[in-house]
Amino acid sequence: MATSFDVGQMRVHLLDDGTFITDAGNLFGGSRKASIKGAMHPILIEASGDLVLIDAGFGPELPEMLEGRYELRRDENLLDRFDEAGFSAEDVTHIILSHLDPDHVGWALNPPSFPNATVYVQEAALEEAREMPEKDGRRAAVPAVERGVEEGWCVLLDGNSEVLPGIKVEVRPGHSAGHQIVWLEDGDDAALYTGDLAPAKIWLDPNLIAGVDTDPKAARRNRIEVLSEAEDRDAPVILYHEPQDCLVKVRSEGDSFKAVAFGSGE
């Protein structure tokens, strides 16, 4: 599988922050005697002098509130991958967080590991996180985001925005309030980062909705709309939690979608 690809003049690198194993019940609700495995693939974009990271893994350690529920497996972490790709944390200028779950914000917030980066968060995601129960993972991100806003390294967005030319965030709630996906565009070339709207191949099915989704109806509707657009544009799609081949194209099949290999003419 390619670990880098181009979108027009932009170079996109698929990184890795290890994998997690959790009980399926933690994602689907109820108790099911099955475990599910997910990877974490933050992406790094070289865009005319800027270096943009999208989502940021779990961070140095599994957060305390997830101990016992999640198991984190990795030989190398996100910062090791930076080294291998020839970058350092100091080089990152922008970080886009799809939402505030701990498996997406780790290295960006706890502790902040990119000293020269501005972090972009949707205000609605922060507001929702403030209202979550005390021990919730999203709630845990609130103090760091508030400190970042105060200190000037975190910017709150209110809706769709073009963070840099050709790097467009689009609010597509459902998994969380203020959940944002990212379109990379240059001329006719485009790629899509879905975040947790459709984080792995199994989630390409709009009828499979996670128990952890804040608004299941919105998640379903947004998933159909966004994946349809990706198919129409023939855009590669980056699946953050997909353990295998996280770069795919999508094709509709009945009332669902399937992944086809990136680069396949199918």
Of 29-37, 96-104, 122-130, 216-224: span binding Zn ion (CB under 5 A) = 96-104
Strand arrangement, sheet containing 247-253: 161-164, 167-171, 180-186, 189-193, 237-238, 247-253, 256-261
Indicate whether 17 belongs to the interface with Zn ion (CB under 5 A): no
Cα torsion angle, 217, 223, 226, 232, sign: negative
Count of residues in contact with Zn ion, rule CB under 5 A: 2
**Structure-token pair, residue 59:** 């961070």
Please identify which residue in 46, 103, 213, 242 interacts with Zn ion, judged by CB under 5 A: 103
Closest CB 104 distance from Zn ion, rounded Å = 6
Closest alpha carbon to 57 in 3, 14, 9: 14
Q: What are phi and psi of 104, to 5 degrees?
A: -120, -20
Binding to Zn ion by CB under 5 A, coded x per residue (else -) over 51-90, reads ----------------------------------------
Q: Which is nearer to Zn ion, 103 or 185 (CB)?
A: 103
Q: Which is nearer to Zn ion, 38 or 236 (CB)?
A: 38
CA atoms of 45 and 5, how far apart (whole Å): 10
| Bond preceding residue 216 cis, omega within 30 of 0 | no
Closest CB 179 distance from Zn ion, rounded Å = 10
- Contacts of Zn ion in 23-42 (CB under 5 A): none
Please identify which residue in 196, 198, 226, 237 interacts with Zn ion, judged by CB under 5 A: 196
Q: Which is nearer to Zn ion, 16 or 196 (CB)?
A: 196
Q: Which is nearer to Zn ion, 47 or 125 (CB)?
A: 125
Spatial contact of 125 and 179, defined as CB atoms under 8 Å apart: yes
**What is the CB neighbour count within 10 angstroms for residue 85?**
15
Q: Which is nearer to Zn ion, 126 or 200 (CB)?
A: 200
Name the site residues for Zn ion (rule: CB under 5 A).
103, 196
